[in-house]
Structure 1
Amino acid sequence: MFMSFPEEDLTCPVCCDIFTDPVLLSCSHSFCRTCLKNCWDTGLRECPVCRKKTSKSNPPSNLALRNVCETLLMVKRQSLALEDELSCIVHGEKLKLFCLVDKQPICVVCLSSRSHKSHECSPVEEALLDCKAELALSVESLQEKLHNLKGIQKTSADMIKYIKNQAQETQKRIKSQFEQLHQLLDQEESTRLQAVKKEEEKKIAEMKDKIKELSAEVLCVADTISFIQDRLKEEDMGLLKNFRSTQDRAKSTGLGSDNMSGLLIDVTEHIYNLKHRVLEKLFDQVGYTPVTLDPNTAHPCLILSDDLTSFHYTKQPTCCPDNPERFHMSAEVVGMTTLGSGSHHWVVETGSNQDWLLGVVSSSVPRDTDILARPENGFWTLCLRDGEFRAMTSPPIVLTVSRTPEQIKVQVDYNKGMVSFVDHADDTLIYSFTDTFTETLLPYFYSQSSHPLKIIPEKVLVTMLRQ
């Protein structure tokens, strides 16, 4: 607004500078309040320009003029600041170039200086466009990063809920399995207590029979004693005449069996190594599974059993977090047992399942990409699909089998680099891989069938180490 008239119209006639706190006289002339006061202190109270006298000792402020002057001064200060900003702080020249090495504006003198002499430069106009474009890309990249971070933040919140559900479900399964163990122990305890009770009743019955026999014998002996005592009271000749019969009766009254062995309860039979024998019986009933499935790696379309020893495929995916360990592309899952040196084996019951892959994979196989199950990709597997058995080599080999096995034994000899597949029913070899393993392996399973694949438990043998 103030640029519509010359700057001299905003200058005080006394100090010849921009008005400071201007006052307005009745003659329409304006002066700085301080300048006017100084003039009046030295002479008459009159206008320094037209000499017209005024009666007011304190003329009013010219507010409109003061606002314009303050705005002009502010613009001047901004202009000077901008000019300083556009000038080199070292040489005072305008910043017309942009150093592409140091990423800063420079003047033409800087270009010839030692600091920038060998640096590539461009005009600030071109550099401005390039910098804006680069920053726009940075903003785009950061916006994408922000979007990803928000996604991770949401996923993390969802994972907290999933972890809580996992903990509750795991605790529920633990309680269920301990309840089964408690039930087995209670049954075993009841059986053994009943055995003791049964033996107690048997021994007591035997002792009662023994006491009954002894009571009869006691009466018989007492009668014989009484009879002999009566004979002793007879006359001498009568005693002699009846002596033989009396003696025969005394001899015929013999003592019963006094063998008391085996009448007590066989405590040792019930107590010896009781915990060990109960443990052996528990092992016979619960078994041991050499491979347990890892639910954190299972594809969302796989449903795992509560004891993590079997699974089947469903078209309706479950709600689970998108964690890095999980297979995302196909219906795969691995066991939690890491296979390193030594020999390992497990048996998988395939049953009616006609679409599966079994074997081992390298621990580092990617979980978020779709790759071929080949040895060069870290897969050593046997496949059943479309009624054909295939060894998943490069390319796959179609295998001929005399019958379709329902249980497949997977054998791994890590040190020899061998992975073998055997028909568990008759130990017939189906196929064997030979390779060199460079990292640990994991049991591998794949299926797109609603019929389950199940890892068969093994019988546990308890042996004693004698030193």
Structure 2
Amino acid sequence: MGSQSRSRRRRVERAHWEWRLVGEEEGLSSSFPQAGPGSARRTHTRVPAVPLRGPGLPPARLEPLAANMAAQWLEDRLTCAICLGLYQDPVTLFCGHNFCRACIQDWLGRSEKVCPECREPFPDSAELRRNVALSGVLEELRVRPASDPGLGACCPRHGRPLELFCRTEGLCVCSVCTVRECRLHERTLLDAERREREAQLRATLEVTQQQATQAESQLQELQQRSSQIQSSACTLTSVISGKFNRLLQALEMQRNLALRDIEVAKTQALEQARDEKQRLQGHLEALSCCDHRIHNLLEQLDDRTFLQESQLLAPPGPLGPLTLPHWDEDQQLGGLKESLSQLCALLLEEGGHPRAPAEAADFGSMEAPGPLAPVASLVCPLRRKLWQSKKAHRMYYRNLTFDPISANRHFYLSQQDRRVKHCRKPRGPDGPGSFKLWQVQCAQSFQAGQHYWEPGARDPTLVYLPCHFLPARLPRFLAPRG
């Protein structure tokens, strides 16, 4: 125990003195050359120690370096030997060493029960006692702020002023760090690093200001575009609502007219049927009366009476053909279709919605996509032509089917060979008459005349509809290879 006390006393005495490295500022280097002219020399200067003040006493007036060294010494004395941090709930063993309560409990639970520093055994029945004085010092250090702002500008490793900047570590270092920890690192002066960082920050500031200006311009343009879309949407909503309201009114009127025509036609047909029914019922009554008189004559026993009454018997006339009431559904639907066609034509001829000249000029001058153009003004003429063409060629309509023999092996036919679908997986090897290309031929052929059919496709980008006169041989580009 005597040797341990002497060793501890020597460590305390060394902590109260500072070893300074004194050399020429321009002669600092990453190594210590031999003594010579202009080279750094190692000298040791003793600085008298200043006793530490306890809690509640006025702080001692220390030089910045000496005060920092004293704080460093105090921090070393208040450091746990297990976790290397400040004590947390410090406890004292029988040997006098202090540790964090959690650290020493974990140590004693995982290894033999001895002190981590002096290896003195720790009895099993002993309890860990809290060090009240040390806990008070730690609490005072935690709640007391740093009184001298200059102490924060010293190196935490050596206590010297921070004079250089280490770019490798990104930290401010002292002159001792440059010859020890940061000996092989890239270093520069603080003001030089500040000037470079200021230039970078100013460049970044210019970029951010430009981006902010550009973002504000884009935001304004987006707001204008949103306002234009809102106005166009309101106009379209009003126009479409008006069109559909007129369409609904016209449809309601046409519905009433169609129902009235159907009711009139039904009344006429039913009256005709009723007249025909009365005629047939009267004829049945006349036939029944004639049958009754004939039966009575047949039962007559007197010949003279039979002959006289038989001459007076007049059978009813012929029945005549049945006159069915006239009722033609196609005629009724034909008139309705004609009315609807005229109604759609009148509706489509109204064109698109009106737009203000200023708004149209603004839309035309912008580089962004233009406003919502009225679809009816572009599509309706073509739609009317197709409607008229379809109506004119309805009599030439033909329902075509595909020839499965000529279909490419990637084509699958369905719905009675009226639908074809392309798949990546082939359905089998090529047949003797199948196309090598993605083609399929219709099974029907026409010698002359006009013929009309309507193809449909879900993906029209790959549809090709050739129509050729095919003699005994197929054209070269349609003939299957091989």
**Length-normalised TM-score, structure 1:** 0.33
Greater strand percent: which structure?
1
Query: How high is the TM-score relative to the length of structure 2?
Result: 0.32
Bigger relative CO (Cα 8 Å, ≥ 6 apart) = 1
